[in-house]
Structure formats: C-alpha cells, structure tokens
Structure 1
Amino acid sequence: MLDFVIFAVTFVVILVGAVLYLPAVSIQCLLFYRDGNLQDIVNKGSLHEFLVGLHEQFGSVASFWFGRRPVVSLGSVDQLRQHINPNRTTDSFETMLKSLLGYQSGTGMAVTEALMRKKVYEGAINKTLDKNFPLLLKLVEELVGKWESYPESQHTPICAHLLGLAMKAVTQMAMGARFADDAEVIRFRKNHEAIWSEIGKGFLDGSLEKSYSRKACYASALAEMESVLKSVIKENSGRGSNQLTFMDSLLQAKLSERQIMEESMVFTLAGCVITANLCIWAVHFLSVSETVQEKLHQELTDVLGDEPVSLDKIPQLRYCQQVLSETVRAAKLTPIAARLQEVEGKVDGHVIPKETLVIYALGVVLQDADTWTLPYRFDPDRFTDESVMKSFSLLGFSGNQACPELRFAYTVAAVLLSALVQKLRLHRVEGQVVESRYELVTRPKDDTWITVRQSKMI
C-alpha cells in the first residue's frame, strides 16, 4: 500500500505544485524527520503493522510523514463514517490499483465519466457471473472431485490449489475459451505474479527503483500482459460467441480499446488475488472450526438438499454469507484503502486540507474491540447482529459499497464452500502455524495445508 501512498503524494505535488500540510494542532502525528516514516514502516514489516502501532499510540485519527509531506490515517468506524459519506464517487481499491499501474483513475476523470466507467465495470462483472455460472460450477466441481480422491492422510496445499482455481475462473470468465488452455493460464500466472509481487513489495520498500533487473522484469511482465489483453480484445471484437465474457460486456458498452484493456487488467489482477485469498482464508478457518462446518453443512442441506448450488440460491445461504464476512474481517483481507481528499473536510473537528492523502486503516478497524466483541475470535454468528452488519457494510465489505472484485470473490467462494462442505470434512494439519503477510490483499506467508475426508455429517 505504501507504493500507492508514494505515488499519490508525488502525483499531487506535480498536479497541484504545492507542499501539502496539516495544521500542527489538528491531528496528532509522529515527529517529522527528513526521510519521514518510511524506515519505520519497513521495520514493522508492512504499512498495516505500522498503522496498528500508530493508532495505538496516537488514537483513531493520526498522521505520519513521507519525506516532508504528511498523510492522514483514520482508524475507527466513527471516523470512517464521517469521511466516507461525501467520498463515494470512486472505489478506493480500484483507484489505488489503477494509480500503481499508471492508468487513469476516477480521481483523474470528470465526475460523469468516472461514474459511467464505474457503472459499466460493475455491470460487466455482474453479467459475467450470470452468464458464466455453469463454467464456474464446473471448475469448482473439478477441484472438489480431485480432493475427494485424496487419501485422508494426504496434506493438501490450499494456497496453490485455490490460486489455481481463481486464475482459471477469472481468466476464462473475463477473456473466454482461449484460457481453457492450461498453457495460456500458466503464461498469465507468470506475468500476474511478477506484477503483483512488485505492487505488494517492490514499491513498498523502494527496492524496485534500486534494481534495474527487477524494474525490467516488472515492465516486461506488464507490457506482455497488456499485449495479451489487447490481442484478446481484437479476437473478440465483432465476433459472435455463445459465451458472454467480462471483456465482451465492455466491448458492448463501446469503450475504447485502451479503456477495455485497463479495466480488464484491473479485474484480472485484483479479481484473481482477492478471490484466491478469500477462498484460502475461508477454507483455513473452516478447517479449524468443526462447529462452523457443521452449521454450514446443515444450512446447505436445508437450502440445497443434494443439489449443487445455483446463482439464485446463493442469497438464501445466510450462514455461508456470515462465514465469508467473518473471513474478510478475521483475515483483514484488504487491510488498507486510500483516497485523495477532494475538498477540505473535518473528522472529529480535525481539519483535513484539500488534496491530502487519507488512508483508511481497515485492518485496524476490523480488529477494534470497541466495534467487535472478542475481535480475535472467528465467529460468523456475530453477523446476525444488524448493527455489526451495518458497520461492515460501511467499510465497503458488503452491500452496495463492496468493491466489485470482492462481490465477485464472494460468489466464487460461496460456490466453493457449498461444494466442499456438502461432500467433505476439512481438518487442519496439527502443529501448523499460519502467519499473515499484509500487502494490498492479505495472504498466508507460506502455503497452508489441510487434510480432507468424506463428509458424514447429518
């Protein structure tokens, strides 16, 4: 996330041509020194972990320094509620990712164009799920069938398997049958990993700028992926197909080739990572909670019987939705978001000048004991409380405010959990310690292992 911060601050300086400042009396902050807090962030291991300490020391509204320029961080539901309400014209996650890729984000467009692009993008994702649901179900059932064939003693690496599922689902649903070829998916995955690894780390610690070879590798991967996307656009343009993909929907909306390429890049990059890690963390948490598995199995039996899940049945799986919401919260799936302050504003009386970069410390908020009872416990039942669900929706993790990629991921994960829990029992591997790596999207530091056996739940 620091990569976006550095880019955004630099962008603002170039655009506005002025040094940003916060009145010293407005917001408590770390003392300034020449290099700001970059080394502190690196020492903590991630921007999220730095923000945890920052808010513990200075409270829910604080600022810190990049060079000579401050950034404001908001670390509680109340402060986010005050700030988010007038700043909903663009999606903060999409804005960050487009900025990192050097694409035009909503903050660089006219309001009308930004809203139009957002509507087209979200509509394309919804159509993709609707028209390609049988394909998604097929991919999930293939994976579950493979797991069913494993002996009970076999350790299954869920990160590798579920990243593969996400890659296949996103590429085929976004770009079509060309990516039914494993060689195309492998090529995509290679470039995806080269790009995403630098977005998650290389910008964060400044090491990318210091390494010519890594910069060249990153630029090459980005150029190759853009080239692939453009070639698929040309293949699909003007050609009828029984499959309506994400890219087809953008073509129907009459976007330019450049716009389609950028939107497809964002969806395939973010869609793969968010979907994979939501599935990974959900399976992990189920494997350590027999009670949650039993409750989910009972709901699946009540709603689906022995039938596979369908798109119209997913909204009826209320407990499954609670499991996924609690997974997002407990894993701190997207721990940070950010916006540029469009107009001068106030949070709890603290002045935030126009064009200030404001970070939403979502990972801090999701573990805040004032908002969540026993925040470090995995407890899907907490989402039966309407006030809890409202707080969660406010943060952009459900309902209309959820980022489109997360809504896509919820659907894929619901299909996966339905198929898995109908047929299998999931068990953690004894002695395994699962640690988190906090980047744009939180993932396990190492692959996570489970064992499976045939379900005998009643």
Structure 2
Amino acid sequence: MEPRIRHQEKAPREGRRHGAERALGDRLLALPSSRPREAGGPAPGRAPREAPPFWRRAEPRQGAKPRAEKDGRSRVGVPGQGRGRFESCWTSPSSPSPSCWSLLEPCCTSTRLLDKLQVSLGLLQLKKNGNLPDIVNSGSLHEFLVNLHERYGPVVSFWFGRRLVVSLGTIDALTQHINPNRTSHPFETMLKPLLMYQSGLNGDAVENHIRKKLYENGVNKSLQSNFAVMVKLSEELLRKWLSYPESQHVPLYQHMLGYAMKAVTQMALGSSFEDDQEVIRFQKNHNTVWSEIGKGFLDGSIDKSTTRKKQYEEALMEIESVFKKVIKERRGRNFSQHIFIDSLLQGNLNDKQILEDSMIFSLAGCVITANLCMWAVYFLTTSEDVQKKLHKELDQVLGKGPVTQEKIDQLRYCRQVLCETVRTAKLTPIAARLQDLEGKVDQHIIPRETLVLYALGVVLQDRCAWPSPYKFDPDRFDDESAMKNLSLLGFSGTQECPELRFAYMVATVLLSVLVRKLYLHPVEGQVIETKYELVTSSKEEAWVTVSKRN
C-alpha cells in the first residue's frame, strides 16, 4: 500500500468550542465533498497525546467485593471512592484511535446520563475544533504553516475544523501536484466561503470554465479601456506628494489604499465613482468587511460581538446594494466606458453570479493592489541602488513623453521590482484548491476532494529556490529560472490570478509616474511589522518622505 500524507502529530484540543471553528472551519465545510466528514482528531496511524474523555469503569482493586445495587444488580465498588471511580482510556490499547470514534457508538459502560453527555461533548469538540486553536495561537495560518513545514517537511496535513487539509510547502511539491482542477482561481477558493458565496467548484465544469474566462476577460478589458484613468489617478497622487515639504512624513498605506480604491471602483463600477464622497463611503464599508474577513472570522472574535457582526453585515449589504444598482443600470445598454461588470453582463450569467464575481474582484483587487503598491514604494525607499536603476529604465523607455500602454509593456526592470516585491513581502501567503481527482506528490496520495493549500509564504522564502531569500533583490529575476519559479506559484505567466494582473498594471503606472519625478526616502528608525492574512500588510502605518528630482 502506498503511504499517505504525513500528518501533524498534535491531536486537536479539548475544551469549549472555539470561535474560529464556527468561522473558517464551518465555511470551508461548505466546499463540496461526497466523502463522509472525518472527525477532527488524531491522524490515522498516530496515537494522540491525550485521550479524549471516553470513560469506562475502573477495574476493581484486589480484594474489593461486589455490592448490590438497589435494582438487585451487582457492581464493583472501590473502597473510599463512594460508588466507584472512572478513568479515561482507549478501548483498545493496540489501536491508534478509539474504536468508539463515532458519536453513534460511544464507548461507555456506565448508564449514567452525565457520563454519556461527557462522551458526546468530548467527541463533538474533537470533531469540530481540529487544529484551529493552534492556528489562532500561532498568530496566522501562514505562521502556523511555517512551523508545520519546518517540523514535518514539504508535504503535511492537519485538521481545519472537521476537514482534513493538505499543505504543500516547496516548489518541487507544487510542481508534482496532480490536480486537473483549473476552473477556479486559488484566491477565489479561499475568499468565497468566507463571504458565504457559492464556490465555482460546485457547478458544472464547462460552466465554471466559461465563468472563469469571463472574469479574466473582464479584468483585461477594463485595464485596456481605462488606462487613461490609471494615469490620471497616479498624476493626482504625484501632485499631492509634490505639495508636501520634504520633511513631512507621508502615510503610505493610507494613500495607496485610497489610490487603489479609486482605481478599482472606477474600473469596476464606472464614472459615478469619480465623486470622492462615493469612494469614501465605499472604502468605509470595504474596510469593515475586509477587516473581519482577515481577522474576525479567523479568530472567531466577530461571533463574540453582536455590534461588530451587525456592522459587518450592514457594510456587506451596502456594498452589494451598490453593485446591484450598477448591474441594473448597465444591463442591456451600451456605454462609452467599458467596465468590469460590462464583461460579466455580456456572458450568460444571472445577477447573483455577477454580484458575487464583482464583489470578489472589488474586495480582493483593492487590497492586493493597495498592498503591492505600498510594499513596492517601501522597498524602494530601503534600496537606493534599485530606485536609481528603476529611474534609469523609466528615463530610457519613457523619455520626456507621456506614460502609454505600449511603453509600459517595455518596462522589464519595473516588472522585476514588482515581482520581487510580491516575493519579499509574501503578498498572498496562502492559496487553495480542491482536489478534483486523486493526486500524488512523491509517494504521498492526495485523496479526491481534499482541500489542498499552497503554502506560498513558505515557498517564497525557501533558500533552495531563492538565494538570500530575505534580501530585496529584483536582479534575481534576470535569471529565467527565477521567473519560472514565480510563474509556477501563480504570481506570473498564464497562472497569474486576475486580481494580481490588475495590481501589476496599476502599480506599474504608479511607479512610472512617481519615480520619474520624485526621490523616495525611508523614515529613519522605522521598523515595519507584517500582518499575515489573506493578503500581507503592515501592522502599523508605513511612513515615507519624498523630495523632488531636479
């Protein structure tokens, strides 16, 4: 028999139901599965560190005599212990897991109701929590996977609530991964269950493929049709920064989020979002929704606060109402400005599908674009040589002329800067796919319909693939093998996710406008701490200063 996936040795914890289980665990269970759910207990073939509370009556001490019960039956009494003592046990010492793993057949020789409740609650807790408390205690799913892969190697598995999850942590493992499922993007697989939207994995493969192509074409067409919008927004930000004195600290993430929000809303929803008040209102609701997706659903804290949950639900409804209004206005009509929703309307999608895809694009597109721009500018402030080389390329390609789409495509080094930004920042540290058919990595079998995580944050810092992995070095992508590795991870080439493709273009235009006119400087003594969620950001605001080039 071929060996199965190596599992985490640590058994799921007991105790009260953790809020995180109600969040990510239950939402990921919404993914389709024809196999019965496995209990969130120890992996097959490994004994847990602590036995769950299955109870049996202890063996009588030597010399103890049976005593009669009121109903005439005999039972064993233990001197000094009242009606007898109980101890935790496995029903079969040779078995790695209890024979009474199912709640339907509890291992309990006592007929007392309290004992039965203890058995049921203990089993239920093991089934539901899995390793979610360990993930929360690690600080993030990414940090949990870093520790897991360091300890167990490139192919590991663990319990995400009640679902068994496989994680791949090297380029070699990802290259070997046999999975014909290409009908959805990995980021979509993670995000849709959190929004409680129907995953594209549930539908017909042909329909999902068509929907995926509509989504990709929508992103590409909106970029082509709205290139002038990107240039205009970049020049607005440039004028704002030029107005600052050289000593003024610029709140980098705040400005990048505002820039990204304007770009996404105008390209997804149209010219009505040229009004700053509309953008501010949308951004407020967007921030509320994304902050809970990134943190509240993972640690379960949103379920402990009715106020926060209400704010989240209201913000989500307001964003959806904006999209519903735009969908209704643009259905069956032609406009001079082609936006993302127009491409979806041209397909055979219903309003619900258009709404869900538009929400995914706006939420993910804003956050990925904002953080790519923020990290790119920040890393440029820390490397004067890289900034100088980028300015030289911009001067050679663009000269004194305007920024055009044809010339943007010639900025090879600028693309290397952005690729290295993605790698160094570990911009999207986790991706996910559902295994369509049984797959194999090395000698490990990945069963059909297993949720497979790509531990991208682990792979992007792998010394075997990236020499000096913690150094910001865009020149590493002069080597075609480095670009090939990045493409295998979905950060470049044909497997590049549409939201990242959008972010690359918007960030390229921004850097072309800013670096031609400005020197970007770091704030002395600033230390940036990272926050790993679905997209990596800074825990606190990142600050920079700027000065005008001669």
| Larger deviation, residues 253-262 vs 160-169 | 253-262
Could you tell me whether the CA contact under 8 Å between 1:281 and 1:327 is conserved in 2?
A: yes
Q: Which structure: larger Rg?
A: 2
RMSD, aligned CA: 2.2
Deviations 1:293-319 (A, max 9, x none): 010011111111012321122221000
Cα 1:253/1:424, change in 2 over 3 Å: same
Q: Secondary structure at the match of 1:378?
A: coil
Equivalence for 1:182: 276
Specify which of 302, 318, 324 is matched with residue 396 of structure 2. Answer: 302
> Which residue is equivalent to 2:383?
289
**Offset at residue 394 of structure 1 (A):** 0.4
Tell me the equivalent position of 2:143: 49
What one-letter code is carried by the residue in structure 1 that aligns with 2:319?
A: M
The answer to whether 1:265 aligns with 2:359 is yes
Per the alignment, residue 389 of structure 1 pairs with 483
Write the distance in 2 (CA, Å) between the matches of 1:238 and 1:181: 25
Are the counterparts in 2 of residues 7 and 100 from structure 1 also a CA contact under 8 Å? Answer: no
1:13 to partner: Cα distance = 7.8
Deviation of the 1:211 alpha carbon: 2.5
Q: Is the 8 A contact 2:420 2:472 kept in 1?
A: yes
Going from structure 1 to structure 2, the CA distance change for 1:44 and 1:23 (only over 3 Å counts) comes to closer
Q: Does 1:132 align with 2:226?
A: yes
What pairs up with 1:2-401 in 2 under 5 angstroms? 6-7=25-26, 9-12=28-31, 16-19=35-38, 24=44, 34=126, 35-67=129-161, 69-83=163-177, 86-401=180-495
2:513 matches 1:429: no
Amino acid at match of 1:309: V
1:8–1:357 contact (8 Å) kept in structure 2: no
Q: Secondary structure at the match of 2:482?
A: helix
Letter in 2 for 1:250: L
User: Larger deviation: 89-98 or 329-338?
Assistant: 89-98
Q: 1:373 offset after TM fit, Å?
A: 0.4
Answer whether contact 1:3 1:199 (CA < 8 A) is retained. Answer: no
Provide the C-alpha distance between the structure 1 equivalents of 2:309 and 2:500, rounded to a whole number of angstroms: 29
Query: Closer, same or farther in 2 for the Cα pair 1:378/1:272, shift >3 Å?
Result: same
Q: In terms of mean alpha carbon deviation, does 401-410 or 335-344 score higher?
A: 335-344
How much has 1:23 moved relative to structure 2?
A: 7.0
Aligned partners of 1:13, 1:246: CA distance in 2, in Å? 29
Q: CA deviation at 1:2?
A: 9.0
* Residue pair 2:438, 2:447 contacting (<8 A) in 1 also: yes
Cα displacement (A) at 1:14: 7.2
- Residue type at the aligned position of 2:30: F
Q: 1:149 to 1:57 in 2, by over 3 A?
A: same
Q: Per the alignment, in what secondary structure is the counterpart of residue 453 of structure 2?
A: strand
Aligned-pair CA distance for 1:240: 3.2
Amino acid at match of 1:88: R
Q: Using a 3 Å threshold, how does the CA distance of structure 1 residues 299 and 123 change in structure 2: closer, same or farther?
A: same
| Contact 1:13-1:19 within 8 A present in 2 as well | no
Distance 1:213 1:222 in 2: 14
TM-score, normalised via structure 2 length: 0.79
For residues 222 and 319 of structure 2, what CA distance do their matches in structure 1 show? 21
Mean CA deviation greater in 122-131 or 228-237: 228-237
Q: Which residue of the partner structure matches residue 403 of structure 1?
A: 497
Check whether the contact 1:191–1:224 (CA below 8 A) recurs between aligned residues.
Answer: yes
Q: Can you list the C-alpha shifts for 1:117-176, whole angstroms capped at 9, x where unaligned?
A: 010111011110111111111011000111112111111111000100000010011111
Structure 1 contact 129–408 (Cα < 8 Å) conserved = yes
Give the Cα separation in 2 of the matches to 1:232 and 1:122: 20
- Helix, strand or coil at the partner of 1:19: coil
Shift of 1:342: 1.5
**2:392 alignment partner AA:** Q
Give, as a single letter, the amino acid of the residue that structure 2 aligns with 1:264: S
Residue aligned with 1:63, SS: strand
Larger RCO (CA under 8 A, 6+ residues apart): 1
Aligned residue identity for 2:159 = W
Q: Per-residue deviation at 1:67?
A: 4.5
Structure 2: gaps spanning 5 or more residues: 1-19, 53-125
The structure whose residues are more often helix, as a share, is 1
